[in-house]
């Protein structure tokens, strides 16, 4: 099949080409993201392969359909950037990567937690300037602290297991409780418990209308003062303006993000020679107790290999008329 691959970086080409040696599809790469301005590039492609910040709204999907596209293949787990209702009405199939290394994201969440708690980012900059003073670098023991895991799917459970290794207490929140999470010693929170008890809150849930801004001014006001917040899931889970206010008044003790709700204009590109005009983002990174990484939590060899292989497996299933193992359907 002819496949147009959008938002394609060097590493995407490397791993997709390796996975395609046995699949034999015609892959055409575009570094540009998919949107209304670039959708014409996909004309004649039976499938398009997109990533987290590509836009597959109704208008884009209509043009894809008109150009001959029949399959939308997401090389990621989240699908909030695809209008599933529009895709269904147009007869377009949508697939995603439902399972890649959960360790990649969970381990990055732990790395962010350790860094923001022990001020690793500040210490790194100080020592490069031959400043070895310890003032302002004090953290706290993770042992004995309470960690709230919001979303106890595969990634959340791996994160929880690591936290158990540190000697932490676990509380969870999920619409679908997990016996595996409870087997780790965790229990699901009753109303008000997370805000009262959690020293650390880590987000591992998908972005849906229900979870949009699940962290907001109200929930932050009820949080334990000085708590740390980690988000490696989706930027829209956190109301950034509210988080900034909580940082300013000390309600949040620290914030570590791998995702940002307006990241599509920033992440996955080199802007070091330009002026970043996102004032909210600039305010965010001005805080000494904030760490931001550019949506790299998934970025391990094992995860990218699995993502590439799973994506092309879905394309092959579609090409041969087989059932789509990883199809997403409109609710």
pLDDT value for 288: 96
pLDDT value for 100: 87
Task: Say if residue 70 is in the same domain as residue 39.
Answer: yes
pLDDT at 191 over 90: no
Nearest to 138 by CA among 280, 261, 278, 289: 289
- Whether residue 170 lies inside any domain: the answer is yes
pLDDT bucket at 316, cuts 50 / 70 / 90: very high
Domain that holds residue 270: 102-292
Dihedrals phi, psi of 70, to nearest 5 degrees: -125, -15
Q: H/E element holding 48?
A: strand 47-50
pLDDT value for 132: 97
- Whether residue 327 lies inside any domain: the answer is no
- Whether residue 259 lies inside any domain: the answer is yes
Q: Catalytic residue numbers? A: 234, 263, 295
pLDDT value for 33: 95
- Whether residue 237 lies inside any domain: the answer is yes
pLDDT bucket at 266, cuts 50 / 70 / 90: very high
CATH of the domain at 227: 3.40.50.720
Task: Say if residue 140 is in the same domain as residue 224.
Answer: yes
How far is Cα 42 from Cα 25, in angstroms, rounded to an integer? 15
Task: Say if residue 21 is in the same domain as residue 167.
Answer: no
Task: Say if residue 181 is in the same domain as residue 256.
Answer: yes
pLDDT tens column, 26-69: 999 999 999 999 999 999 999 999 999 999 999 999 999 999 99
Long-range contacts of 315-322 (CB under 8 A, 24+ apart): 315/1, 315/3, 315/23, 315/25, 315/47, 315/49, 315/71, 315/73, 316/23, 316/25, 318/1, 318/47, 318/70, 318/71, 318/93, 318/95, 319/1, 319/25, 319/46
How far is Cα 106 from Cα 153, in angstroms, rounded to an integer? 11
Task: Say if residue 118 is in the same domain as residue 56.
Answer: no
Task: Say if residue 128 is in the same domain as residue 218.
Answer: yes
- Whether residue 328 lies inside any domain: the answer is no
Task: Say if residue 93 is in the same domain as residue 131.
Answer: no
Structural domain count of the chain: 2
- Whether residue 326 lies inside any domain: the answer is no
pLDDT at 78 over 90: no
pLDDT at 99 over 90: no
pLDDT tens column, 210-221: 999 999 999 999
pLDDT value for 186: 97
Task: Say if residue 227 is in the same domain as residue 126.
Answer: yes
Task: Say if residue 249 is in the same domain as residue 119.
Answer: yes
Q: Mean pLDDT for the chain?
A: 96
Task: Say if residue 207 is in the same domain as residue 84.
Answer: no
pLDDT value for 64: 98
User: Can you tell me the mean pLDDT for 248-254?
Assistant: 97
pLDDT tens column, 6-30: 999 999 999 999 999 999 999 999 9
pLDDT at 83 over 90: yes
């Amino acid at each position: 099949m002819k496949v147009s691959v959008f938002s394609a970086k060097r590493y995407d080409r490397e791993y997709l080409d390796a996975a395609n040696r046995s699949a034999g599809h015609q892959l055409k790469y575009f570094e540009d993201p998919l949107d209304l301005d670039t959708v014409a590039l996909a004309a004649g492609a039976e499938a398009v392969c997109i990533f987290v910040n590509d836009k597959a709204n109704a208008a884009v999907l209509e043009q894809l359909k008109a150009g001959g596209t029949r399959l939308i293949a997401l090389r990621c787990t989240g699908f909030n950037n695809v209008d599933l209702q529009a895709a269904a009405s147009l007869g377009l199939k949508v697939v995603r990567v439902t399972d890649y290394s959960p360790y990649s994201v969970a381990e990055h969440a732990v790395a962010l937690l350790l860094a923001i708690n022990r001020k690793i980012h500040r210490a790194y900059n100080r020592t490069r300037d031959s400043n070895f003073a310890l003032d302002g670098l004090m953290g706290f023991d993770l042992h004995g602290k309470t960690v709230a895991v919001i979303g106890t799917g595969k990634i959340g459970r791996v994160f929880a297991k690591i936290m158990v290794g540190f000697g932490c207490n676990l509380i969870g929140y999920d619409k679908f409780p997990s016996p595996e999470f409870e087997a780790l010693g965790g229990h699901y929170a009753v109303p008000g418990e997370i805000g009262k008890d959690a020293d650390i809150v880590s987000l591992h849930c998908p972005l849906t209308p229900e979870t949009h801004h699940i962290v907001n001014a109200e929930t932050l006001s009820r949080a334990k003062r000085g708590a740390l917040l980690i988000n490696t899931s989706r930027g829209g889970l956190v109301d950034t303006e509210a988080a900034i206010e909580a940082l300013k008044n000390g309600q949040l003790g620290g914030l570590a993000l791998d995702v940002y709700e307006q990241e599509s204009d920033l992440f996955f590109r080199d802007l070091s020679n330009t002026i970043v005009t996102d004032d909210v983002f600039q305010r965010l990174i001005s805080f000494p107790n904030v760490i931001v990484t550019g949506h790299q939590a998934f970025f391990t060899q094992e995860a990218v290999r699995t993502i590439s292989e799973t994506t092309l497996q879905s394309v092959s299933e579609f090409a041969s008329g087989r059932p789509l193992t990883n199809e997403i359907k409109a609710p």
